[in-house]
């Protein structure tokens, strides 16, 4: 499994690649714009070309994009839903221009309207987006969620339903977040529970639809439905869960990306470096 982390694009998109390379990342995830704003300036072609040159130079692949936190395809508010669709189309266009193969999105929040209604709204939005962007090459990856509030995607059945309702299934996939599934009640701490969870995933969604893994330990207990990421081996999942993932031959071809807190330890060492070292040592040698 290629390992990396989410990197900042401050100072230019290509800077994320340079930062990742400095930390020995083999893959990275980025926002292609400010994640807390609906709109951004259009990408300048020269900036996109520079990004692609640095991507080749560093050998980092794949680069994964993550969408804005504002987007909610399940919103019952017509204005928010329309803005979300347009914003996601813009994100897909940006990723396509940068030759990024995957865009990770949170499925959405039904805001009290119920799971069925929310899932139907997400499905309709995704089908509309694919219809509007017939030539876009970016695969949308639906991320597993922790189950906070009215967020959808915390049950494998939610994601399976969205995949099944897609008119262009080949343009969708899944991003599995270890902290999120643990918080949602899927245990991966022992060989037995890991096998049970992954078998459930395979039977419900299909491992062939899994394209990216977010490697995050959890600050909260199993089934808490609270999304709080912790450094690898320092949370309630523990090292064994990550060792099982990293030694699962079915997942060996996937990128594993950290979204752990951006901070330094008491000696001033970047925690990304420490987390990547821990994960690298858990890989088969």
pTM score of the predicted model: 0.97
Please give the pLDDT value at position 111. Answer: 92
Pairing of strands 63-66, 102-105: parallel
What are the distances in angstroms from CA 197 to CA 118, 159, 185, 203, 207?
25, 15, 10, 10, 12
pLDDT digits (tens, 9 = 90+) for 220-248: 999 999 999 999 999 999 999 999 999 99
Kindly state the average pLDDT of the residues 257-266: 96
pLDDT confidence of 154, banded at 50, 70, 90? very high
Q: Are 176 and 216 in contact (CB under 8 A)?
A: no
Q: What is the 3-state secondary structure (H, E, C) of the chain?
A: CEEEEECCCCCCHHHHHHHHHHCCCCEEEECCCCCCCCCCCCCCHHHHHHHHHHHHHHCCCCEEEECCCCCCCCCCCHHHHHHHHHHHHHHHHHHHHCCCCEEEECCEECCCCCHHHHHHHHHHHHHHHHHHCCCCCCEEEEECCCCCCCEECCCHHHHHHHHHHCCCHHHEEEEEEHHHHHHCCCCCCCHHHHHHHHHHHHHHCCHHHEEEEEECEECCCCCCCCCCEECCCCCCCCHHHHHHHHCCHHHCCCEEEECCCCCECCCCCEHHHHHHHHHHHHCCC
Q: Is the pLDDT of residue 73 over 90?
A: yes
Kindly state the average pLDDT of the residues 162-177: 98
Q: Is the pLDDT of residue 205 over 90?
A: yes
Which domains are delineated in the chain? Answer: 2-282 (3.20.20.150)
Q: Are 130 and 175 in contact (CB under 8 A)?
A: no
pLDDT digits (tens, 9 = 90+) for 170-179: 999 999 999 9
Q: Is the pLDDT of residue 41 over 90?
A: no
Please give the pLDDT value at position 115. Answer: 96
Q: Is the pLDDT of residue 39 over 90?
A: no
CA angle, 22 then 236 then 283, to 5°: 45
pLDDT confidence of 285, banded at 50, 70, 90? confident
């Amino acid at each position: 499994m290629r390992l990396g982390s989410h990197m900042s694009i401050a100072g230019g998109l290509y800077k994320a690649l340079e930062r990742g390379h400095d930390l020995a990342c083999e893959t990275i995830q980025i926002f292609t714009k400010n994640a807390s704003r609906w709109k951004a300036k259009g990408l300048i072609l020269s900036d996109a070309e520079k990004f692609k040159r640095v991507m080749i130079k560093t050998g980092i692949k794949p680069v994964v994009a993550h969408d804005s936190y504002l987007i909610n395809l399940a919103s019952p508010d017509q204005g928010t839903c329309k803005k979300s669709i347009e914003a996601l189309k813009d994100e897909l266009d940006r990723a396509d221009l940068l030759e990024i193969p995957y865009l990770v999105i949170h499925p959405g929040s039904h805001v009290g309207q119920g799971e069925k209604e929310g899932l139907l709204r997400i499905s309709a939005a995704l089908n509309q987006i694919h219809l509007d962007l017939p030539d876009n090459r970016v695969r949308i990856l639906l991320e597993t969620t922790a189950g906070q509030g009215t967020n959808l995607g915390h049950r494998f059945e939610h994601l399976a339903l969205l995949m099944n309702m897609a008119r262009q299934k080949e343009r969708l996939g899944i991003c599995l977040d270890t902290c999120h599934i643990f918080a949602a009640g899927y245990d991966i701490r022992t060989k037995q529970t890991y096998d049970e969870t992954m078998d459930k995933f395979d039977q419900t969604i299909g491992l062939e639809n899994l394209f990216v893994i977010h490697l995050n330990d959890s600050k909260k207990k199993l089934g808490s439905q609270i999304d709080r990421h912790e450094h690898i081996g320092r949370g309630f999942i523990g090292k064994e869960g990550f060792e099982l993932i990293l030694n699962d031959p079915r997942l060996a071809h996937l990128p594993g990306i950290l979204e752990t807190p951006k901070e330094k330890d008491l000696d001033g060492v970047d925690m990304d470096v420490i987390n990547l070292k821990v994960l690298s040592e858990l890989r088969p040698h």
